[in-house]
Amino acid sequence: MNCRIGWIGTGVMGSAMGSHLLAAGHSLSVYNRTSDKTRSLVENGALLKSSPAEVASSSDIIFTMVGYPADVAETILGADGVLSAASRGTILVDMTTSEPSLAVRIHGECAARGVKSLDAPVSGGDVGAREARLSIMVGGDKDVFDAVLPIFNLMGKTIVYQGAAGSGQHTKMANQILIATGMIGVCEALLYAYKAGLDLDVMLQSVSGGAAGSWSLSNYAPRILAGNLEPGFLVDHFVKDMGIALREAKRMQLSLPGLALAEQLYIALQAQGHGRKGTHSLMLALASISSIPWTAGGCVNSNS
């Protein structure tokens, strides 16, 4: 059954995810602070709205996918936010990677107004969003998850209910911890192979199919070699995520030295002016440490 869906946040991933809902025949109302980023969805039938509140007033299910926790709070809880206009029985799904404590707060604020809510961050990058094969990690009430599952299935391939409100965000933090240290390994392996005089493409053929294989290695290493550092996921947003994870770890009296190192390397990358590039542009920071001529406009290959 088709329903009225609202989508707030049409960036790199949000636009692609919303397009799958349109293709399935759902009515889609959209809002983005930069309205130009809604153009492709509007051209395919989405209705452009002027505020989160206006999206909420015309939707049965509202998805938000914005940048930072402060954006989430303003979009949902602000004076012109979703909760200012959402009707009782409406479902709110925040797919932003955000703070677990904020997800719990939103769940409580929604319940007080008769609105249902889920926290449902995703993993899979721009490719996963375009190809509708994201991993979606969901926290909230199980009956609400069951109700939204058919919509999630239009955007992802791995949709897992994690537990109570905030559990989706905690799961995403675990995901980001894995990616942060894994990306260091991808970049350092390429640098080592370069200095050893290996053909990097040939080297990847061997290691990608062995025990070292990973999503980041298969998807991002070829982009690094091609000099394509455009974002599947922004460095600026990744630094935000690592900060959230480290604050949660501190609260739990948990030491995560690998993540702390990764955060410092990514902050160095931001300082070099690369905050709007993809997370795999970490190569630029690590290459500079060893004076290897890896540039944002293209990469070196020892046999090219």
Q: What tokens appear for 257 in the block?
A: 């030295």
Q: Beta-strand (E) ranges in 66-202?
A: 91-94, 116-119, 122-123, 134-140, 156-163
85-123: burial string, b at 16+ Cβ within 10 Å, e else: bbeeebbbbbbbbbbbebbbbbbebbeeeebbbbbbbbb
| SS3 assignment, position 27 | strand
Give CA–CA dist 76/85, Å, rounded. Answer: 10
* Annotated catalytic residue within 49, 172, 240, 277: 172
As beta bridge partners, residue 28 has 5
For residue 74, the tally of other CB atoms under 10 A from its CB is 15
Asked about 277 being catalytic, the answer comes back as no
> β-strands 122-123, 156-163: how paired?
unpaired
What's CA 167's distance to the chain center, in Å? 16
Could you say which DSSP state residue 136 is in?
E
Angle, helices 215-226 vs 167-195, to 10°: value is: 50
Burial annotation 50-59 (CB, 10 A radius, 16+ → b, else e): ebbbbbbbbb
Can you tell me whether residue 214 is helix, strand or coil? coil
CA neighbor of 97 nearest in space, from 176, 189, 162, 20: 176
**CA 228, 233, 237: angle at the middle one, nearest 5?**
130
- Enumerate the active-site residues: 172
